[in-house]
Structure formats: C-alpha cells, structure tokens
Structure 1
C-alpha cells in the first residue's frame, strides 16, 4: 500500500487532485493524507525551515479562510469515506506552510497537487511557489489539472541525464500497475545528435519494467514544440526528471515541461534526487 500526500490550498479544493488519488486507490488501495495549507502569499515560505536569518514568517489565516478550510477538510473526509479510501488529516494543518509540507513529503511515496486550483490566487502561472514545491519536495510530485482523462499511456521523457533515468525508475517502482500500460520512451535531442545516449542500457532497464514499450526520437526543437506535441496526446501521463537539488528543475525552468503543466491538460510526474 502506498502513502499518497494530497496537498490543497486551504481555501480551494482541487477535485482534479482528489480524483487522481481516488483513481489510484481503485487501481491499488492507498493511504491518502490530506494537507490543507493557508493561502500561498509568498514564494519563499520554505526559508525559515532552512536556517535563514531574520524573523520567522508564517502566513496568517483569516477567520473566514479558517472556516473554508474546515469545510474543505470535511469534504475531503466525506469523499474518502464514500469511495472507501483510507485517509488521514493532520490536526496541525491550520498552521501549515511550505516547510511543514516539505517534512510531510519525506514520509510519503508521492505528493499530488492541483496545477490550477492550488495556485489560483497567484495568477495560474508556473510561478516561484510551484518551483519551490517541485524543488524542495522529498518525494516525487504529480501535478494534476482539474479536467483530464485518466492516463492510459505513459510518456517517459529521456535526455540521457541521470535525473531523467531516476524519474523513470521512481515511476516504475511506485506505480508498477501503471507501468503495464502502453509506454513511449521519448528521446529529446541535444546538440543536434540523433544518437540515443546509452541506448542498450536504457532499453535493458525500461523493458524490464514497462511491458508495452516503444522508443521514439524527436527531431523537433524540444524547447519550442515538445509541449504542443505532448498536449496533443490523449489520456497520457508525462514522466520527467530534474537536474538535482543545487538549482531549480532545469526541465521545469525550460518550456519542456512547463508548457505541459501550464496548459492544464495532462498529469505530470516529476522526480528528482
């Protein structure tokens, strides 16, 4: 049984994120922990947990927002009982900020967040707040739009880097049931080369975990066109990595994955070391 961490902006309930957790539970029973955060008002709320100087800042939750959060928690509990999902709600979530969310991710298999509702108050953009969540989370993150088809295929984004291989392995380890679906390993060209890096090794690895596997090389300009190519695929999930903890995700900073997330059409699985 997997532990799924489901994070909500406390005043906005993401039905898309919950439905994805429900779908996973139908595939294989999971434990879902609901985390209800105060409204995101700053991009640097991780900082006080990282030992930075200066006063500790935790966003205040107005009385009205507190009532909305309580209603959303009640909705979450009702839906979990309705769909026979084992669940937890941590009682201290009214004081939640990003450092607490980071600590929660350390003890979860995967974090699910809604790409639209969770960031509604920040203009619906792939902003620094989302960058921080993706970068600081200590487990893989699934970013889910509100309206989508449950994935029937997987697209593994491979560029030869260790981080892309790491993401592929994490996806296979955590979701072996989804690895049985038709899967495409997409190689993103770099420096004009048409050679698949470590082709024998990546084929040996992925073929062990993905029983219906196809390899594909894209000769398009990935930075400009990959998002469009990906978003035209129906009922798919994108699996992507990042380049370590020393900087924000290179894949997210570029349009390679950002375009897929901001179009709000497909779920995206992101993992980094």
Structure 2
C-alpha cells in the first residue's frame, strides 16, 4: 500500500488539501497521513498583541495559547472525520519543530505529498509561489501535488514534455503512483523552437514509452517560447485538468536567473500541479 501525506497548517486548515488527498487515497487505495505542522513558535497572534504599559499581559497570552491549541485540535479532528467517512486507513503526525524541515523529512518516507499551493506557515499572505513552497519543492524527496483553493474533480491529465529526463521522470512517477487517473483524457504538450520539426522530442522512444503507459494520449506540438505557449494553452483548459511536470532541476544560482516552469505556472494558472524531479 502506497503512502500519501497531506500537509496542513493547523491554524489555517486547508479543506482543499483534505479533499484532494482523501479522494486520491480512496481511489488509489493509499494509506493517508495527515501531517500537522504545529511549530509552537508559530502562532495566530503577534507579540505586540500582548504588550501593555506593564509589559506582557500573561492572562491574554494564556487565552490566545488556549485558542490556538483548540484550533489545531479541531483541524486534526476535521481531517480524522473526513478519513473515517471515506473508509480510509489513516494516521496523524503532529510535528512540533521547524515546519519546512519537518515536512522535507516526512517526504523521504512518502510516495506522494499533497499541499496547498499557497501555503505559507506565516502570519501574512505572500505572492505565489510562496517562500515555503519554493523551499519545499527544491528539496522534497517525493513527488508533490500542489492544489488550488477549490476542489475540482480531476477529469483530464496534461503531461508537459520537453525531451529532458526530468519531464520523463515526472510522467513515470505519475503513472506509477496514480494509475487510475491514466484512464482519463490525456494530452501531451511540447513546445519546440521555431526552426525545428513538429515531431515529439525523442519521437520514437517517447511514443514507445507512452503506448505502454498512456496508449490513448493525444499530442500537441507547438513552436515558440515554452513559458508563453504553455501558459497560453493551460489558461484555456477547463477546471478539472491536472498538469504533470518536472521542475526545480536547476541549481539555486540558475533559479535566480530564470524561474522554474513550476514557478511560472503557479503564478499564472489555477490548476493542480503534479511536480516530480530527479536529482
């Protein structure tokens, strides 16, 4: 039985993460683990909320601590209730140290990680991609499914393929982990330079591979700049499509100079992203 983990901020429970994780776990018969990132230094209140002329208001501090504890408890109970209703085998981990380090460590022993694409684990909102998600994707040790704010049943799979090993790896991992989704409509999208043919990169080998994994897949080959063409096409997709891609292969210096395709897609489109990269 495969192990899927769903990561949550217990102070800001993401019901969309729950919905996607529960549905996938039920469909693929996976064991679902809820990972609650309960760093005690991260709270719903700010330190200046407690300051008075006399110093820290300990009575107010205790009330706010109790409120946070109750909020986190309720979040875990919501997750547990959803799992029971769906008849899943499940477990809950409460991680109390630095959230990003805890989640990276959890990913070593998971087959798939599901998380809200806007997760921050901070008091304040951030632009997408958030620092937490960028850091996670850089070092995650299993494929990551980034989900959007509203759950949409998955009805189409889009495989982004550029001929590089990392894109093939992502397609493989999706095939191995989520075999039931391969039965859905599947489209392979490739973008090539203007002076090249309209054949799929590594045409013969790629199509031999695809016949064994996605025999009914269709192919879309366009010319132009990948970030522009892919974003343009994905924006036209109906809700319910899921995008598969390799990402974050480049070193940190390279990422400063040019964004990962995943960064671009997180900013520009509202579809769930299945991201896997080989190191």
The TM-score range, normalised by the shorter chain, is 0.7 to 0.9
TM-score by length of 1: 0.82
Aligned pairs for 1:128-167 within 5 A: 128-167=131-170
1:43-71 Cα offsets, whole Å, 9 max, x none, are: xxxxxxxxxxxxxxx84447243332222
1:271 aligns with 2:273: no
Distance 1:183 1:148 in 2: 20
Distance 2:260 2:177 in 1: 26
2:108 corresponds, among 106, 109, 119, to 106
User: 2:225 is matched with which residue?
Assistant: 221
User: 1:43 is matched with which residue?
Assistant: none
User: 2:48 is matched with which residue?
Assistant: none
1:14-70 Cα offsets, whole Å, 9 max, x none, are: 11111111221332322111111147xxxxxxxxxxxxxxxxxx8444724333222
User: 1:17 is matched with which residue?
Assistant: 17
Unaligned runs of 5+ in 1: 40-57
Distance 1:260 1:242 in 2: 11
* CA separation of 1:134 and 1:98: change in aligned 2, threshold 3 A: same
Aligned pairs for 1:208-247 within 5 A: 208-234=212-238, 235-242=240-247, 244=249, 246-247=251-252
Unaligned runs of 5+ in 2: 45-64
| SS of residue paired to 1:167 | helix
1:87 aligns with 2:128: no
TM-score by length of 2: 0.81
Bigger radius of gyration: 2
Distance 1:79 1:123 in 2: 29
* CA separation of 1:204 and 1:243: change in aligned 2, threshold 3 A: farther
Distance 1:249 1:176 in 2: 34
| Number of corresponding residues | 252
Q: Is the 8 A contact 1:227 1:256 kept in 2?
A: no
Task: After TM superposition, give the deviation of residue 10 of structure 1 in Å.
Answer: 2.4
| SS of residue paired to 1:135 | helix
Q: Is the 8 A contact 1:184 1:216 kept in 2?
A: yes
| SS of residue paired to 1:208 | helix
* CA separation of 1:264 and 1:229: change in aligned 2, threshold 3 A: closer
Q: Is the 8 A contact 1:158 1:240 kept in 2?
A: yes
1:200 aligns with 2:212: no
| SS of residue paired to 2:96 | helix
Query: Which deviates more from structure 2 when the two are superposed, residues 174-183 or residues 156-165?
Result: 174-183
Query: Which deviates more from structure 2 when the two are superposed, residues 21-30 or residues 234-243?
Result: 21-30
User: 1:179 is matched with which residue?
Assistant: 182
User: 2:4 is matched with which residue?
Assistant: 4
| SS of residue paired to 2:271 | coil
| SS of residue paired to 1:154 | strand
Task: Give the superposed CA RMSD.
Answer: 2.5
